[in-house]
């Protein structure tokens, strides 16, 4: 029998170890995580671009927003006739909402497995030991103390380096930023 995960890790090592080796600080590979975040963001953004009809999605979201606005206004005014009319349309709107959500899941079906494998590789590599020291304002703005409390609750231990974050939070910050830039570059009309 052959080791499938060993083959996957071997392939990921072949792709990411050269990037890790080029990192100016291989013992604390912040740049490597930034590059991996860019690669993952590029994969997910391109999948969203080509697997989801963005115009139809934007149209459905605008229609849903308008419907909800009309419903709230009718409720505020106490307009029973308008509310009954809108509630009759609500079933159709729920169907459209379900269709919209299933449309948004298409890219996730394609990207989920590769991203999980990359996460497992990062967890098993030297990236796992990464610690980034953030400026004080960034530390507080990103709610890092909250993440530390949650991490200590779920995983035990505690943050020992002041203003430090681990690889996962650094990856999340990088991915969020890269995704926003790539979405703007690829012409998405709305944000994350």
User: pLDDT tens across 114-156, in order?
Assistant: 999 998 888 888 888 888 887 888 888 877 788 777 777 776 6
> For residue 91, is pLDDT > 90?
no
Quote the pLDDT of residue 83: 79
Percent with pLDDT over 90 in the chain: 15
Percent with pLDDT over 70 in the chain: 94
Q: What is the pLDDT of residues 21-62, one digit of tens each?
A: 888 887 778 889 999 999 999 999 999 888 888 888 888 888
Residue 139: CB partners within 8 Å, gap ≥ 6? 145, 163, 165
| Average of per-residue pLDDT across 8-13 | 88
Q: How far is CA 154 from the centre of its chain?
A: 21
Quote the pLDDT of residue 36: 93
Quote the pLDDT of residue 41: 94
Quote the pLDDT of residue 42: 94
> For residue 86, is pLDDT > 70?
yes
Quote the pLDDT of residue 192: 46
CA 75 to each of CA 23, 69, 71: distance values in angstroms, whole numbers, following the listed order: 58, 10, 6
Q: What is the mean pLDDT of the chain?
A: 83
pTM score: 0.74
């Amino acid at each position: 029998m052959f080791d499938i995960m060993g083959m996957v890790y071997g392939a990921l090592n072949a792709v990411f170890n050269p990037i890790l080796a080029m990192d100016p600080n291989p013992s604390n590979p912040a740049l490597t995580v930034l590059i991996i975040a860019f690669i993952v963001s590029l994969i997910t953004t391109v999948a969203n671009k080509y697997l989801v009809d963005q115009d139809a999605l934007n149209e459905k979201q605008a229609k849903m927003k308008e419907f909800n606005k009309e419903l709230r206004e009718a409720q505020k005014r106490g307009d029973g006739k308008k509310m009954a009319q809108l509630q009759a349309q609500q079933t159709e709107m729920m169907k459209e909402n379900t269709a919209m959500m299933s449309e948004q899941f298409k890219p996730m079906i394609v990207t989920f497995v590769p991203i999980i494998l990359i996460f497992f590789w990062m967890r098993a590599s030297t990236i796992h030991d990464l610690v980034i020291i953030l400026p004080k304002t960034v530390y507080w703005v990103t709610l890092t103390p909250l993440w530390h409390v949650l991490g200590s609750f779920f995983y035990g231990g505690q943050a020992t380096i002041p203003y430090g974050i681990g690889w996962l939070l650094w990856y999340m910050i990088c991915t969020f930023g890269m995704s926003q830039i790539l979405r703007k570059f690829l012409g998405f009309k709305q944000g994350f």
